[in-house]
Structure 1
Amino acid sequence: MEVRATQRYVRISPQKVRMIVDAIKGKPAETAINALKFMPQKSAGIVEKIVRSAVANADQNTSIDVDDLIVSNLIVDQGPSMKRFKARARGRGARILKKTAHITVVLAEGSVQ
């Protein structure tokens, strides 16, 4: 059985979140949370919070054993970009894109190695 948690419109570039995705994909949920806790990136804290939310969602279902959960999939999609302008020389303006991300964590029951 699968359990998912989603966080949308996170104010971080999806490229920065995707850097840490491979480090926890396929690992048990508890190991993934411990690994994310000690990573220095901002995106690690965001993903850790979403994984904890998915574990809490699984805890509400009585037929799922929380200790056997594995991070089966972690999807990072691009959200809408906020468009801003910065003043440049000679009266011009340069466009700045402040990107957002949609992050989905899918946990599945499986044997823990």
Structure 2
Amino acid sequence: METKAVAKYIRISPQKARLVADVVRGKDVETAITTLKFMPKKAARILRKVIESAVANAEQTDTIDVDTLYIKSIEINGGPMLKRYRPRAMGRATRILKRTSHITVVVDEA
């Protein structure tokens, strides 16, 4: 039986978050959390919290053994973008897109 956790509107670009997600996808939960704990990326901290939330959701059901959980899938989709403007030469302006992410983690028993 699988459980999931979702974090929405996280202020990190999906491209940067996917780099970290690719490292832990398919691993068991303990290994993934340990790996993310020592990774020097902003996305690692965010992803670790979402994985821990998915494990906590799994603990709420009595049928799941938490020690045998593994990461079935991690999906990182783009959220809405904050649009800002930066002044450029000769009176022009350039748009800056500050991207957000929606992160979904699904854990399942091995």
Instruction: Give the SS at the match of 1:49.
Output: helix
Look up the equivalent residue of 1:22 and give its one-letter code. D
CA apart distance, 1:109? 0.5
Q: Distance in 1 between matches of 2:38 and 2:87?
A: 39
Q: Distance in 1 between matches of 2:22 and 2:88?
A: 39
Cα RMSD (Å) of the superposition? 0.7
For residue 65 of structure 1, what is the aligned residue in structure 2? Answer: 65
TM-score, with normalisation over the residues of structure 1?
Answer: 0.95
CA apart distance, 1:77? 0.4
For residue 40 of structure 1, what is the aligned residue in structure 2? Answer: 40
Q: Distance in 2 between matches of 1:71 and 1:9?
A: 22
CA apart distance, 1:20? 1.2
Instruction: Point out where structure 1 has 5 or more consecutive residues left out of the alignment.
Output: none
Q: Distance in 1 between matches of 2:101 and 2:14?
A: 5
Answering whether residue 27 of structure 2 is matched by residue 27 of structure 1, we say: yes
For residue 81 of structure 1, what is the aligned residue in structure 2? Answer: 81
Q: Number of paired residues?
A: 110
Q: Deviations over 1:13-57 (max 9, x none)?
A: 000011011211111111100000000010000000000000000
Runs of 4+ that moved beyond 3 A: none
Instruction: Point out where structure 2 has 5 or more consecutive residues left out of the alignment.
Output: none
Instruction: Give the SS at the match of 2:40.
Output: coil
CA apart distance, 1:89? 1.9
For residue 51 of structure 1, what is the aligned residue in structure 2? Answer: 51
Identity within the alignment, %: 53
Q: Distance in 1 between matches of 2:26 and 2:15?
A: 20
Alignment of 1:93-104 (within 5 A): 93-104=93-104
